[in-house]
Chains A and B, each alone.
Chain A
């Protein structure tokens, strides 16, 4: 806040009460600064430790080999391919659902329906991710008596959908009504107007929401534990069987008593964090500048 405070007259400055008030002001400012530093410290140390431990753990084996069937060794290939596949399928499921629901809230819904959908999406964002896993388990794992990667993808999709709904709706609200009216006045149909004018204008923002949802899904572990389960085998394309994922690999290896496996967990954490942070930084930096363009 740029507030210009007039200089205090000398006769006021001498009173003890004045001095006490300003001493409080100064100490609270210092305290607030200290808290801010304290709030940033965890981020810095997490980044530092993951980077240092991760880079030392990185090697060709980690990137190109699956874990050994028994004992120590191998790499994270099964986890890397698993994350890519499950997050891709989850994105394929979640984007149409989230996008269309967001379009409905912003373009077609009456006030009451809009509130209901918006509220549901908000509450869904707050549902603990492990419960999404349990939910998907009850209808995609339990009936088939087989942990499978499809259930994992569906669980990740359920986590992505509300994020996409909310960002799509927020972005479409920003698209000026004039643009839609101009299109409608030209005789363009409503659905075509929504697709070619509203969504197209808001696309960079919508893409931001999708990418943030992807980053969130890529880091989720809890819902995969009881759906995709994890696997030591490189599973390419067989979604009816268990599949590994980077977060599962980290969770699993962090609990092992072997330092070599713990080291692999750091390496995988570095890869995961790198991917997630790159997506976040690119997307957020862009959306900071976005509206002004």
Chain B
């Protein structure tokens, strides 16, 4: 079947490229807005905390006193609280998360691993304030009468286990954070493990290796940088997590010296003090805490992306 085309008509109607240009230009503009958003967050936090940096300089970071009455502000107790609580979370969540990922990727049959992965992803969807509520009324009291009082009773002579145990404090915050970053570590690690080519495993089985030997000597080493990336990504989430931590960490203003001390993280300090703060040096100092937190989390995220990206390209390239 042939179709008669009136070529003269087509040539006569020269199509303007304007609509296409407008559309692609419009989307490009919006995309630039998204990039600008990130820059704007940094710039706004920096300019609105300028007063603090002018007043205290870098000694703001090392200052240990936060006193609105004498207008002296230092960030160290909150930096310490952030690092300690995230460290507890990593120590708890990294091994459990990795072994869970190994179970889901290597040991469990598909009929079990698919729904379980789904369930663990759901954990990531629970709002932070709901986890915090559970932390205050369920987890905290539970930890107080079990782990915390046991450690205080038997190991209280070691400074970092010094009591009293409140059930809220650094340790409870660390446990809550561990729960919250577990899905990140499990799901990303599992994906990286699954991406290791089957031929690598088969070669090892062919040599008579047990399943654990295959996992520990071939699969995990090949997936190593992806797993490291997953853990760092979890760390990034732990550092910036606000509400759940705010609710269970208590309200300590000093650098914590025991696991069971109350404390504050950078994020929880902002959350609890921002609305009561006097506009001026106090607000500026809280925003300066935010700037420190922003720089840390962005750096951590970039490092994590590098690791995860390298892992997937290397595993794929094998």
A residues with a Cβ closer than 8 A to B are 1, 3, 5, 8, 12, 21-22, 24-25, 28-29, 31-33, 35-36, 38-40, 42-43, 45-46, 49-50, 96-98, 100-101, 103-105, 107-109, 113, 116-117, 119-124, 126-132, 134-135, 137-139, 142, 158, 161-162, 165, 189-191, 194, 215-216, 218-222, 225-226, 229, 247, 250-251, 254-255, 262, 265-266, 269, 272-273, 276-277, 280-281, 284, 288
Q: Is B41 a contact of A132 with CB atoms below 8 Å?
A: yes
Interface flag for B125 (CB, 8 Å): yes
Q: Which of A8, A46, A98, A190 touches B23 (beta carbons < 8 Å)?
A: A190
Are B301 and A126 in contact, CB atoms less than 8 angstroms apart? Answer: yes
CB–CB B247/A254 < 8 A: yes
Is B302's CB within 8 Å of the partner chain A?
yes
- Chain B contacts of A266 at CB under 8 A? 133
For this complex, 12 residue pairs linking A to B, each with C-beta atoms less than 8 Å apart, are A1-B201, A43-B126, A100-B30, A124-B37, A126-B240, A126-B297, A131-B240, A138-B287, A142-B48, A219-B130, A251-B247, A276-B126
Give the A-binding residues of B (Cβ under 8 A). 15, 19-20, 22-24, 26-28, 30-31, 33-35, 37-38, 40-41, 44-45, 48, 95-97, 99-100, 102-108, 116, 118-123, 125-134, 136-138, 179, 182, 186, 198, 201-202, 205, 208, 210-213, 215-216, 233, 236-237, 239-243, 247, 267, 270-271, 274-275, 279, 286-287, 290, 293-294, 297-298, 300-302, 305
Chain B residue at smallest Cβ distance from A147: B275
CB distance from B188 to the nearest CB of A (A): 13
Contact between chains at A100 and B31 (CB < 8 Å): yes
Inter-subunit contact B186/A50 (CB<8 Å) = no
- CB-CB under 8 A for A221 and B30, given A28-B212, A128-B293: no
* Contact of B118 with A284 in the complex, beta carbons under 8 Å: yes
Q: Do A122 and B125 have beta carbons less than 8 Å apart?
A: no
Q: Report A199 CB to chain B, min CB distance, Å.
A: 11
Q: Of the candidates B26, B41, B305, which one forms a contact with A119 in the assembled complex, judged by CB atoms under 8 Å apart?
A: B305
Nearest-neighbour CB distance to chain A for B34, whole angstroms, equals 5
In whole angstroms, how far apart are the Cα atoms of A152 and B41 in the complex? Answer: 16
| Shortest beta-carbon distance from B245 to chain A in Å | 10
Closest to B22 in A: A191
Least CB distance, A262 to chain B, in whole angstroms:
7
